[in-house]
Amino acid sequence: MPVDKDTMIEAIDVNKEYRRAGAIIRALGDINLTIKSGEFVLVQGPTGCGKSTLLNVLSGIDLPDSGKIIFDGENIARAQEARLSKLRRQKIGFVFQDFNLIPTLTAIENIEALLWPTVLREKEIENRAIAALRDVNLLERKDHYPVQMSGGEKQRCGLARAIIHRPRVILADEPTGNLDPESEKQVMDLLKKINKDMETTIIVVTHRGSLSSYASKIIKMDKGVITNIQK
């Protein structure tokens, strides 16, 4: 089968169940979707509908029970962990609801840490981190620790960390879930700018309907299945 160069991620007949206290939970049921390079995708749906599970299988953090995940031309549904972690390191930037910054490192150190271990020289690492901080309008917080930053600043630091290795894809799971409306807008605007300027494919999970205007595609989920894909 010829590979469509524009296709970044494809899920084919993907299923995943969890077993809990004797019950079987269908987290993903027959998921089929295609995400093209450069798209800005929103995944929406109520809590527990499978959004995080979907992101986890798309990025090889979790493996599906059946089906294929074609990531940049490679089926990762049965890949070994060593291969998956290399793929994540090289091709994916992650953004988290609770930021996941290391409290004992400053903003710039948090960003630089993502590159280690690396063959890059110290000066090059610093230059890249400074450029990333500038991209998210956070250069003046460079030497601040997470505890000294607001939620919005912490998430902008998280965005800088997500782009430092120039990934093909950014996956953001509820990136604005802990932010006030103004910080939410700043973070979403920055994601849009990264999407445009760097042609990074962006997938944002949210249970809020209000962010629809940012998306080139909206995937709606309910109870583990896709109920609607809207362009």
Binding site for ligand ADP (CB under 6 A): 18, 20, 25, 27, 45, 47-53
- Measured from the CB atom, the residue of 146 and 175 that comes closer to ligand ADP is 175
* Region binding Mg ion by CB under 5 A among candidate stretches 22-30, 48-56, 118-126, 153-161: 48-56
CB 95, min distance to ligand ADP, A = 15
- Measured from the CB atom, the residue of 49 and 70 that comes closer to Mg ion is 49
**Residue 52 sits in the site that holds Mg ion (CB under 5 A):** yes
- Measured from the CB atom, the residue of 202 and 204 that comes closer to Mg ion is 204
CB 171, min distance to Mg ion, A = 12
CB 48, min distance to ligand ADP, A = 4
CB-based contacts of 227, cutoff 8 Å, min separation 6: 45, 220, 221
CB 127, min distance to ligand ADP, A = 37
- Measured from the CB atom, the residue of 101 and 219 that comes closer to ligand ADP is 219
Point out which residues bind Mg ion (CB under 5 A). 52
